[in-house]
């Protein structure tokens, strides 16, 4: 059927800030949808509060609203567009994750859509309700005769207990309408049941939970499916979870295609999925359907379905090459599947099911190191913040490639510097032990069966010393527990178990992981013995891996996915070095073509693998060769290295920069090449770059790509400055390997990280910085701190997001944190002497922090002919000491005097020229006593580039790319119509979003280490309104009346007085704790005293929070940590979504915003405006 002509303007809703459970996959799907709809001639209006998305680039929609994703804003946008004469006809809510879908449903339920005559396309509200509402869904499944877990819904604890009498323990709690399984969990005991049910009820939007029979340990599958209005139905991809039921699929290692289903079982699943799509009524889009399969009987039950594009569909798109979001967008406007061409083959239609001739593995990326108090056990509630994907021709190869994509300092499945077993084996070997490298089982016979006996699955044995889990040989009791309880390190413990001689069946009993997967891992462990027998016999030292291994064995290592780094470690030899495509050892690149090579494909999407060579007879003798699939145009190539898996401190902002670099390189006539391992991103979309390599971002893997391209075409250079710390860490070694690094040279980047040299430079150009020193050991750190005087800030070098950065008020703090800081660096040192130092800075009290992004085109340090432009000056709302990524900030600066701004610009220019910055640069200043101090300089793209770009209307990453490719800054700016000093359009506020809700019990306080997962932007004409919008968009609804509790530390007591006074004037009822109460009373401000302890005659603070009495909590910390009472308040506030402010500066800004809101009335105060309006200078 042709596309619909009755709709002209479509509103697309994005997913807002990056949070756990909702990463940048929805930028990928939304961007694809916007592109598709506009190509079809529709007018696209976009709503998304996340400025770091590609979809919010003004060129991807006709009207781009960076406003909070909330029904009242949808209402305002629809109203505004109507008054402008181009009313919105339809709303497409299925591409913005759960956030977009929920918001659209609320707007529908509130009658907003009806009032504006807007039709929901993609999935009807009825279908969405049927799929999302647990009861309706279960009824629907039973109607079509499908098996579902025994379950019941409850709206209260009493009702829940009733349901439990049918379902029984163990059971699973799933709240309705939450994302990432938030608030849910698996319960084995009554105590767990009561606790998790209560939490689930409070977190569900409709106060409903589903209580379901415990399917923990069953096999878990997902089908990514699409259906059109003609009832055509295709399965894009079947995904099998390595981790069985009980672990959220977002926290599971997953594999595509499904590996352990017979055709009969797979087709039964496919039939079910088709019946579900029909019954639910999804007829113009994609969905995801989850199944559990009983491993003993094959019983299949339907778990859930999402009537929208999901994280899994992003993965399925990247795993198969099938653009689900694009196809879903076309279906939403009326096409049928057979009318849509397959972009990859170009000759076949989208109405087919991709055939895969490789294996795809996805591994989640967690950041528990940021939340030491969080429970690391993996459950039905998602905890990971990102993921990496790898492609290989075998599971073993893909699995190892995926591990080394994780950015966790693992080179693969064991055999690296972090492999305790290998370290111990090398030591045994050095001690002359003949069997050093054989596993315990091989040395001592079969494993002791008694270690398997004992308590029930997953239960902690008594007196387990957790730290012994890091020692070899690992205590069997500890190992049992590590295997039985899903956690992020489980694969490595499985390896240790095999090393101890445990069998696949024994490990299966504990992990419930399918024996097929376990045997795959066991094969790798067994192969190690073959490999290491060589190490045992060869003399250690000089010889390289290539010399030690026969070509056949090296080939085998490579086809099993071993990295050169692993081989070098295992054999204590020099790494063999990367090899290019078409080499005789079988190393090659293969195409992701959706059809298993059945048809010729035009796709630019590749992965590396190793194949057995083919023999040909030429002139009477046999010649070995490997077929070459990679065909590269001879034009000059620009290679962009992406950021790898999302984690805190490195996320969508860097992907945004990489995508812009690729787009700009293409615009300037180069062929762009993207290398990345993150399936959620726009950068790994097959049409973002001219060539896409889905590869781990290690030196060897990247060089392999570079060599393959170089064999056919010139490489203009490699861009490492846009993808965050991951590519930056490769800069030196790539340069040594002969790659041309574009832009600021790695030496200058290193210069900025080298404390001593950097100090000299600042002195030379006459800039101030806080007194500091670089320590290489604990004793040195202590001496420096004493010299500077406390408080001091300690920070490791070469880390992301202020990892292990701490503010120390005294020597006790210093001793506690400094060891952690030494261990935290991301850079692997060649030797102990080479360990990067920890920096100790004098901490400036009450300083205002400033972030500056700038672009410069200096071709060498001190270049006279270059130029530098300041992109934006951001004033932080929180004081220096809170990590810049966790601090809200404003453009333009709201409190700086003009002469300070000028001085900052002058200093920026001086620094850029001295360092020879060519491209982007970020500087952090602290202003204390009216004087700027340089805190940090990073000559590379920073997290704030997208925010500054949106706030100023200039694509700074593109400007910088042009500069890096040799054009003058003036020319690059000219292309985007920018004069010398771009002026911000309005006041724009960036506010971070935190994952505290996902880590119950974790202290929700800000500090020098970054813990936010994402950010939102609020734009408006005044600071107060912009701040209020940003707060709403971040999910922190500022109250305009109600009860506010104030409890601050001693230094903050005088400063909180005016804030409290204003809150009272605004009509708030004040509560306070003893000390603060006194301070307020002395200032003549009445407040109700509350107790910090339970049982006191006054109200108990924690009760006020938990009973929902409070509307606002202002609490600046005395101490940190979840073990302390104030830590518990903050954790409780975060869990209940109570607006919590932990800094005085934040409180001041919040009160200002509340005042703005009240002054004009909430409804009137908040208006909407598209980015295009700001750009046109409209008011």
Partner 1 sequence: MNRTPCNLALEDGSIFVGQSFGAEGTAAAEVVFNTAMTGYQEILTGPSYCGQIVVMTAPLIGNYGVNPDDVESGKQHLAGFVVRELARRHSNHRASSGLHDYLRAAGVIGLAGVDTRSLTRRLRTFGALRGLISTEITDPAELVGKARASAKMEGRNLVERVMPDGDMVWEPSGGAGRRVVAMDCGIKRNILRRLAEAGCEVRIVPPNRSAESIMESKPQGLIVGNGPGDPAAATDAIEALRPLIGRMPIFGICLGHQLLALALGAKTYKLKFGHHGANHPVLNVETGRVEITSQNHGFAVDIASLESVGGRISHLNLYDRSLEGFEHAERRLFAVQYHPEAAPGPHDSTYLFDRFIAMIGK
Nearest CA to 740 out of 709, 713, 706 is that of: 706
Judged by CB under 8 A, the chain residues 447 through 476 that form the site for partner 1 are none
CB 642 → partner 1: shortest distance, Å?
26
Q: Residue 4 and residue 91: Cα distance in Å, rounded? A: 14
| Binding window for partner 1 (CB under 8 A); candidates: 290-298, 527-535, 643-651, 949-957 | 290-298
| Binding window for partner 1 (CB under 8 A); candidates: 492-500, 620-628, 736-744, 913-921 | 620-628
355 versus 845: smaller Cβ distance to partner 1: 355
| Binding window for partner 1 (CB under 8 A); candidates: 350-358, 694-702, 735-743, 966-974 | 350-358
Q: Residue 41 and residue 5: Cα distance in Å, rounded? A: 10
Q: Are the C-beta atoms of residues 863 and 913 closer than 8 Å to each other?
A: yes
| Strand, helix or coil for residue 761 | helix
757 scored as a contact of partner 1 (CB under 8 A): no
CB 861 → partner 1: shortest distance, Å?
49
Q: Nearest 5°: CA angle at 795, between 789 and 797?
A: 135
Applying CB under 8 A, which of residues 142, 267, 409, 736 lies at the interface with partner 1? Answer: 267
| Binding window for partner 1 (CB under 8 A); candidates: 127-135, 388-396, 532-540, 1122-1130 | 388-396
Which residues sit opposite 674 in a β-bridge? 640, 692
Tell me which H or E stretch contains 1115: strand 1112-1115
CB 160 → partner 1: shortest distance, Å?
33
The 10 Å CB-count burial string (b at 16+, else e) for 518-535 is: bebbbebbebbeebbebb
Applying CB under 8 A, which of residues 471, 616, 787, 1119 lies at the interface with partner 1? Answer: 616
Applying CB under 8 A, which of residues 139, 166, 465, 598 lies at the interface with partner 1? Answer: 598
Applying CB under 8 A, which of residues 354, 645, 723, 995 lies at the interface with partner 1? Answer: 354
525 scored as a contact of partner 1 (CB under 8 A): no
Look at strands 637-641 and 715-719 and give their pairing.
Answer: parallel
Which residues sit opposite 869 in a β-bridge? 855
CB 946 → partner 1: shortest distance, Å?
39
164 versus 595: smaller Cβ distance to partner 1: 595
418 scored as a contact of partner 1 (CB under 8 A): no
ω into residue 232 within 30 of 0, thus cis? no
Which residues sit opposite 301 in a β-bridge? 292
354 versus 932: smaller Cβ distance to partner 1: 354
261 scored as a contact of partner 1 (CB under 8 A): yes
Judged by CB under 8 A, the chain residues 217 through 236 that form the site for partner 1 are 230-234
Q: Residue 271 and residue 263: Cα distance in Å, rounded? A: 12
190: number of Cβ within 10 Å? 11
Applying CB under 8 A, which of residues 355, 602, 829, 1094 lies at the interface with partner 1? Answer: 355
352 versus 368: smaller Cβ distance to partner 1: 352
395 versus 996: smaller Cβ distance to partner 1: 395
Which tokens is 1105 given?
Answer: 């929070």
| Binding window for partner 1 (CB under 8 A); candidates: 615-623, 696-704, 715-723, 786-794 | 615-623
What DSSP state is assigned to residue 801? T
Quickly tell me which residue has 């470690």 as its tokens.
569
590 scored as a contact of partner 1 (CB under 8 A): yes
507 versus 959: smaller Cβ distance to partner 1: 507
Q: Are the C-beta atoms of residues 770 and 844 closer than 8 Å to each other?
A: yes
600 scored as a contact of partner 1 (CB under 8 A): yes
Q: Are the C-beta atoms of residues 321 and 593 closer than 8 Å to each other?
A: yes
CB 64 → partner 1: shortest distance, Å?
36
519 scored as a contact of partner 1 (CB under 8 A): yes
356 scored as a contact of partner 1 (CB under 8 A): yes
Q: Are the C-beta atoms of residues 362 and 387 closer than 8 Å to each other?
A: yes
| Binding window for partner 1 (CB under 8 A); candidates: 11-19, 431-439, 619-627, 837-845 | 619-627
295 scored as a contact of partner 1 (CB under 8 A): yes
CA 284 to chain centre: 29
991 scored as a contact of partner 1 (CB under 8 A): no
CB 588 → partner 1: shortest distance, Å?
9
358 versus 947: smaller Cβ distance to partner 1: 358
Of the chain, the end-to-end C-alpha distance in Å amounts to: 43
552 scored as a contact of partner 1 (CB under 8 A): no
* Residue 22: φ, ψ to 5°: -145, 90
Applying CB under 8 A, which of residues 6, 264, 634, 833 lies at the interface with partner 1? Answer: 264
595 scored as a contact of partner 1 (CB under 8 A): yes
The 10 Å CB-count burial string (b at 16+, else e) for 246-261 is: bbbbbbbbbbbbbebb
Applying CB under 8 A, which of residues 54, 112, 215, 359 lies at the interface with partner 1? Answer: 359
Judged by CB under 8 A, the chain residues 623 through 642 that form the site for partner 1 are 626-627, 629
How far CA 16 is from CA of 204, 763, 1017, in Å, comes to: 19, 43, 10
Applying CB under 8 A, which of residues 473, 515, 861, 966 lies at the interface with partner 1? Answer: 515
Nearest CA to 52 out of 639, 977, 681 is that of: 681
Number of residues that bind partner 1 (CB under 8 A): 67
Applying CB under 8 A, which of residues 190, 449, 612, 1123 lies at the interface with partner 1? Answer: 612
ω into residue 1101 within 30 of 0, thus cis? no
CA quadruple 609, 613, 614, 620: dihedral, nearest 10? 150
357 scored as a contact of partner 1 (CB under 8 A): yes
What DSSP state is assigned to residue 724? T
522 versus 808: smaller Cβ distance to partner 1: 522
CB 395 → partner 1: shortest distance, Å?
6
Which residues sit opposite 43 in a β-bridge? 9
How many residues would you count in the chain?
Answer: 1179
Judged by CB under 8 A, the chain residues 317 through 346 that form the site for partner 1 are 336-338
311 scored as a contact of partner 1 (CB under 8 A): no
CB 565 → partner 1: shortest distance, Å?
24
353 scored as a contact of partner 1 (CB under 8 A): yes
Q: Are the C-beta atoms of residues 153 and 186 closer than 8 Å to each other?
A: no
Applying CB under 8 A, which of residues 611, 687, 754, 813 lies at the interface with partner 1? Answer: 611
| Binding window for partner 1 (CB under 8 A); candidates: 261-269, 531-539, 783-791, 996-1004 | 261-269
Question: Which residues neighbour 847 within 8 Å (Cβ) at sequence distance 6 or greater?
Answer: 879, 880, 926, 927, 928, 933
Look at strands 1112-1115 and 1140-1141 and give their pairing.
Answer: parallel
Applying CB under 8 A, which of residues 393, 548, 660, 894 lies at the interface with partner 1? Answer: 393
523 scored as a contact of partner 1 (CB under 8 A): yes
Question: Which residues neighbour 57 within 8 Å (Cβ) at sequence distance 6 or greater?
Answer: 64, 955
1172 scored as a contact of partner 1 (CB under 8 A): no
| Binding window for partner 1 (CB under 8 A); candidates: 357-365, 786-794, 859-867, 1079-1087 | 357-365
CB 580 → partner 1: shortest distance, Å?
17
147 scored as a contact of partner 1 (CB under 8 A): no
Q: Residue 925 and residue 931: Cα distance in Å, rounded? A: 10
Tell me which H or E stretch contains 287: strand 285-293
CA torsion sign for 503, 508, 513, 516 is positive
Q: Residue 309 and residue 329: Cα distance in Å, rounded? A: 10
For partner 1, the binding residues (CB under 8 A) are 230-234, 238, 257-267, 270-271, 295-298, 336-338, 347-349, 351-359, 393-395, 504, 514-516, 519, 523, 586, 590, 595-600, 611-617, 620, 622, 626-627, 629
């Amino acid at each position: 059927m042709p596309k619909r002509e009755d709709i002209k303007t479509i509103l697309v809703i994005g997913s807002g800030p990056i949070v756990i459970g909702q990463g940048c996959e929805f930028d990928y799907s939304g961007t694809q949808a916007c592109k598709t709809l506009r190509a079809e001639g529709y007018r696209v209006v976009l709503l998304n509060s996340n400025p770091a998305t590609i979809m919010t680039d003004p060129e991807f929609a006709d009207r781009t609203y960076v406003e909070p994703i909330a029904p009242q804003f949808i209402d305002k946008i629809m109203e505004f567009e109507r008054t402008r004469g181009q009313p919105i006809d339809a709303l497409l809510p299925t591409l913005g994750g759960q956030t977009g879908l929920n918001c659209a449903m609320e707007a529908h339920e509130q009658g907003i859509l009806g009032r504006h005559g807007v039709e929901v396309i993609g999935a009807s509200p009825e279908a969405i309700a049927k799929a999302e509402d647990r009861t309706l869904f279960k009824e629907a499944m039973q109607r079509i005769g499908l098996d579902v877990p025994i379950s019941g819904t409850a709206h209260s604890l009493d009702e829940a207990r009733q349901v439990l009498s049918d379902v029984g323990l163990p059971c699973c709690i799933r709240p309705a309408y939450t994302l990432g399984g938030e608030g849910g969990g698996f319960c084995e005991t009554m105590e767990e049941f009561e606790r998790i049910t209560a939490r689930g009820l409070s977190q569900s939007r409709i106060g409903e939970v589903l209580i379901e029979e415990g399917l923990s340990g069953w096999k878990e599958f997902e089908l990514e499916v699409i259906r059109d209005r003609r009832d055509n139905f295709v399965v894009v991809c079947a995904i099998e979870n390595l981790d069985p039921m009980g672990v959220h699929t977002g926290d599971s290692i997953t594999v595509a295609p499904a590996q352990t289903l017979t055709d009969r079982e797979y087709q039964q699943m496919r039939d079910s999925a088709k019946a579900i799509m029909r019954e639910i009524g999804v007829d113009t889009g994609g969905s995801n359907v989850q199944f559990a399969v009983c491993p003993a009987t094959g019983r299949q039950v339907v778990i859930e379905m999402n009537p929208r594009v999901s994280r899994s569909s992003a993965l399925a798109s990247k795993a198969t090459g099938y653009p689900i979001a694009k196809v879903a967008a076309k279906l939403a406007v009326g096409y049928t599947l057979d009318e849509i061409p397959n972009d990859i083959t170009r000759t076949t239609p989208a109405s087919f099911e991709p055939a895969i001739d490789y294996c795809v593995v996805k591994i989640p990326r967690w950041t528990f190191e940021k939340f030491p108090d969080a429970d690391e056990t993996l459950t039905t509630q998602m905890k990971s913040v990102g993921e990496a994907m790898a492609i290989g021709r075998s599971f073993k190869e893909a699995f190892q490639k995926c591990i080394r994509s994780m950015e966790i300092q693992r080179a693969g499945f064991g055999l690296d510097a972090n492999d305790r077993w290998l370290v111990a084996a090398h030591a045994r070997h050095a001690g002359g032990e003949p069997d050093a490298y054989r596993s315990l089982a091989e040395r001592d016979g079969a494993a002791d069966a008694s270690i398997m006996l004992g308590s029930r699955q997953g239960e902690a044995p008594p007196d387990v010393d957790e730290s012994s889990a890091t020692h070899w040989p690992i205590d069997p009791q500890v190992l049992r527990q590590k295997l039985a309880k899903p956690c992020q390190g489980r694969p490595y413990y499985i390896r240790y178990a095999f090393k101890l001689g445990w069998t696949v069946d024994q490990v299966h009993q504990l992990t419930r992981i399918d024996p097929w997967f376990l045997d795959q891992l066991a094969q790798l462990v067994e192969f190690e013995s073959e490999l290491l027998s060589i190490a045992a016999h060869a003399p250690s030292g000089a010889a390289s891996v290539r010399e030690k291994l026969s070509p056949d064995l090296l080939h085998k290592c490579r086809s099993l996915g071993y990295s050169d780094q692993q081989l070098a470690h295992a054999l204590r030899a020099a790494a063999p070095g990367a090899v290019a495509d078409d080499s005789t050892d079988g190393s090659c690149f293969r195409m992701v073509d959706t059809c298993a090579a059945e048809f010729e494909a035009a796709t630019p999407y590749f992965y590396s693998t190793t194949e057995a060579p083919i023999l040909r007879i030429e002139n009477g003798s046999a010649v070995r060769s490997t077929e070459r699939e990679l065909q590269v145009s001879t034009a000059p190539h620009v290679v962009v290295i992406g950021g790898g898996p999302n984690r805190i401190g490195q996320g969508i902002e860097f992907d945004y920069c990489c995508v812009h670099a690729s787009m700009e390189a293409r615009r300037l006539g180069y062929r762009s090449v993207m290398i990345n391992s993150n399936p959620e991103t726009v950068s790994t979309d097959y049409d973002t770059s001219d060539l896409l390599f889905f590869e781990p971002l290690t030196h060897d893997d990247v060089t392999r790509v570079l060599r393959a391209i170089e064999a056919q075409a010139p490489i203009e250079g490699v861009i490492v400055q846009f993808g965050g710390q991951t590519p930056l860490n490769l800069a030196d070694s790539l340069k040594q390997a002969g790659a041309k690094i574009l832009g600021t040279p790695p030496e200058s980047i290193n210069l900025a990280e080298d404390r001593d040299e950097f100090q000299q430079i600042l002195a030379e150009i006459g800039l101030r910085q806080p007194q500091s020193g670089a320590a290489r050991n604990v004793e040195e750190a202590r001496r420096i701190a004493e010299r500077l005087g406390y408080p001091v800030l300690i920070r490791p070098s070469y880390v992301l997001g202020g990892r292990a950065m701490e503010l120390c008020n005294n020597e006790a703090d210093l001793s506690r944190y400094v060891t952690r800081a030494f261990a935290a660096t991301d850079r692997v040192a060649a030797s102990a002497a080479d360990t990067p130092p920890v920096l100790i800075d004098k901490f400036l009290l009450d300083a205002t922090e400033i972030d500056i992004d700038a672009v410069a085109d200096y071709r060498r340090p001190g270049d006279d002919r270059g130029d530098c432009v300041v992109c934006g000056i951001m004033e932080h709302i929180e004081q220096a000491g809170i990590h810049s990524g966790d601090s809200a900030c404003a453009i333009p600066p709201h409190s700086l005097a003009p002469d300070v701004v000028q001085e900052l610009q002058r200093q920026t220019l001086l620094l850029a020229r001295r360092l020879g910055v060519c491209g982007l640069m970020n500087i952090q200043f602290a202003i204390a006593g009216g004087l700027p101090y340089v805190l940090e300089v990073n000559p590379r793209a920073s997290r704030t580039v997208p925010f500054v770009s949106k706030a100023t209307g200039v694509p700074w990453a593109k400007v910088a790319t042009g500069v890096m490719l040799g054009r003058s800054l003036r020319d690059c700016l000219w292309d985007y119509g920018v004069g010398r000093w771009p002026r911000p359009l309005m006041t724009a506020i960036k506010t971070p979003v935190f994952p505290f809700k996902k880590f119950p019990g974790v202290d929700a306080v800000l500090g020098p280490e970054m813990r936010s997962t994402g950010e939102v932007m609020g734009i408006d004409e005044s600071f107060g309104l912009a701040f209020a919008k940003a707060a709403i968009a971040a999910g922190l609804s500022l109250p305009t009346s109600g009860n506010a509790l104030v409890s601050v530390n001693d230094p903050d007591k005088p400063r909180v007085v005016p804030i409290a006074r204003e809150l009272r004037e605004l009509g708030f009822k004040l509560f306070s704790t003893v000390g603060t109460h006194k301070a307020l009373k002395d200032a003549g401000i009445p407040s109700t005293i509350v107790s910090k302890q339970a049982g006191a005659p006054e109200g108990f603070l924690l009760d006020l929070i938990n009973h929902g009495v409070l509307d606002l909590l202002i609490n600046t910390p005395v101490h940190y940590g979840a073990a302390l009472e104030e830590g518990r308040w903050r954790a409780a506030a975060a869990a209940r979504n109570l607006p919590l402010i932990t800094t005085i500066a934040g409180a001041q800004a919040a009160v200002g915003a509340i005042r703005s809101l009240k002054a004009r009335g909430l409804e009137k105060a908040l208006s909407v405006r598209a980015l295009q309006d700001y750009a046109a200078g409209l008011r």
